[in-house]
Amino acid sequence: MTQLRAGSTVGPQHPQIHIVVGPRRHGVGAAPSRRLEKAMSSLTTRARPTGLATATPQRASRSSARHVDKTYPHWFYIPGGLIYRVLFLVPTVFSFYFAFTRWTLFKATFIGFDNFVLFFQEPGLIGSLKNTIIYGFTTSAAKVVLGMLLAVVLSAPIIARGYLRSVTFFPVLVSAVGVGITFQVLLDPFHGVVNAAIKAVTHVDGPGWLTDPHIALLSVAAIDVWKGIGLATLIYIAGIAAIPNEYFEAARVDGATPWQIFRAIILPLSFPATSTVITLSLIGGLRSFDLIWTTTQGGPGFSSDVIASVIYKQYQAGFYGLSTAGNVILFIVVTAIIYPLSRWLNSRETVL
């Protein structure tokens, strides 16, 4: 679907956002470039090498400012922008104040860094920070690897391809609550289907997937991968489909093996898809709440708590200031990881 690159290519004051389906200009020779231009029709912007970022769109229309204003009025920003501003921007800005207060929604008392100090002293809370990072990176990495693998198989001419593509996507359609309940039952340590199957095959008792503090977090991460792999696969399928056929034909003429085709064509030319899957799944994984709350509720103990579940627990307990401090910490964690990462992915893409 969308291959999404969030980052700034044109320097700090011109953050540009591209969604790219299909390869960008890789400097591999000009042959397919015309075709590429066309190929990038669906959810696609063209790769804009640094210098051209602003030049391309201006070329077409050379009308006066008044004319532009009449045709593309700024007030088109207002309906969506207003909702976004009131319900997203304003709360985000205010969170940086309320995070430093003891807060009852009616009265806020400024208490300096106390909330943050508490957050980093409480073992249950600091553990959630570690868990958030583990959860975000394992789910993201697994989705990249497995999504790529499935997409390569589902792009090859095999039987029942349409069926296989649909089935892989089905878990995406089920809600986190539904998936959470289903896997709680499937992974039940004593009566669950999974452990019954393990017992039948190996004659060993399976672990308490969601009840053993050592593996609960990773079990939830595995369920998350199960649920999200369909979307990652879909993005990769679109990315692979956008690779111009010339490359595959040339490889066939040269007698390349399937592995060589994968290594030399699919892997590098689907890099925009990889970049999208990494970015989207990492943002989702670091902010993840639904599945953790519907499977373990952060337990047993605090062993699978992530920042998002801590925010909810503090909110439930009425510690609004502490909850908001958690939000600020999550903000910093996500931004500190995603921003440099997307810049790096961006630069890799330009190099390719």
Partner 1 sequence: MNAMRTRSRWLIGIIGILFTTVFFIVPFAFVFTMAGKDQNEASKLEFSWPTHFQLWENIVQVFQSRDYMLIIAFINSSILTVASVTLLVVFGSMIAFVLDRRKSKLNPLVNTLVLAGLIIPPAVVPTIWVMQSLHLFKTLPGLIFIEVAFGLAFTVITMRAFIATIPREIDEAAIVDGAGPLRLFFQVIFPLLRSVIVTIVVVQSIFVFNDFQNPLYFLPGSSNATVQLTLFNYISQSQTSFNLLFANILVITIPMLVMYIIFNRQIVAGMTSGAVKG
Residue closest to 17 by CA, chosen among 276, 244, 336, 228: 276
> What is the rounded distance in angstroms from the CA atom of residue 131 to the CA atom of residue 137?
10
Taking CB under 8 A as the criterion, the residue among 31, 52, 117, 185 binding partner 1 is 185
Window 229-288: residues binding partner 1 (CB under 8 A):
234, 237-238, 241-244, 283, 287
Window 63-92: residues binding partner 1 (CB under 8 A):
68, 70-74, 76-77, 79-81, 83-84, 86-92
Counting contacts by CB under 8 A, is residue 50 touching partner 1?
A: no
Counting contacts by CB under 8 A, is residue 62 touching partner 1?
A: no
- Nearer to partner 1 by C-beta: 265 or 330? 330
The distance of closest approach from Cβ of residue 34 to partner 1 in the complex, given in angstroms and rounded to an integer, is: 9
The amino acid at 238: A
Taking CB under 8 A as the criterion, the residue among 118, 133, 164, 261 binding partner 1 is 164
Using a 10 angstrom Cβ sphere, with 0-12 exposed, 13-18 middle and 19 or more buried, the burial of residue 63 is exposed
Window 197-226: residues binding partner 1 (CB under 8 A):
226
> What is the rounded distance in angstroms from the CA atom of residue 126 to the CA atom of residue 44?
41
Counting contacts by CB under 8 A, is residue 146 touching partner 1?
A: no
Counting contacts by CB under 8 A, is residue 145 touching partner 1?
A: no
Taking CB under 8 A as the criterion, the residue among 51, 64, 105, 253 binding partner 1 is 105
DSSP string, 178-239: HHHHHHHHHT-TTT-HHHHHHHHHHSSPPP-TTTSTTTHHHHHHHHHHHHHHHHHHHHHHHH
Q: Are the C-beta atoms of residues 20 and 5 closer than 8 Å to each other?
A: yes
Taking CB under 8 A as the criterion, the residue among 33, 50, 61, 260 binding partner 1 is 61
- Nearer to partner 1 by C-beta: 262 or 315? 315
> What is the rounded distance in angstroms from the CA atom of residue 165 to the CA atom of residue 346?
29
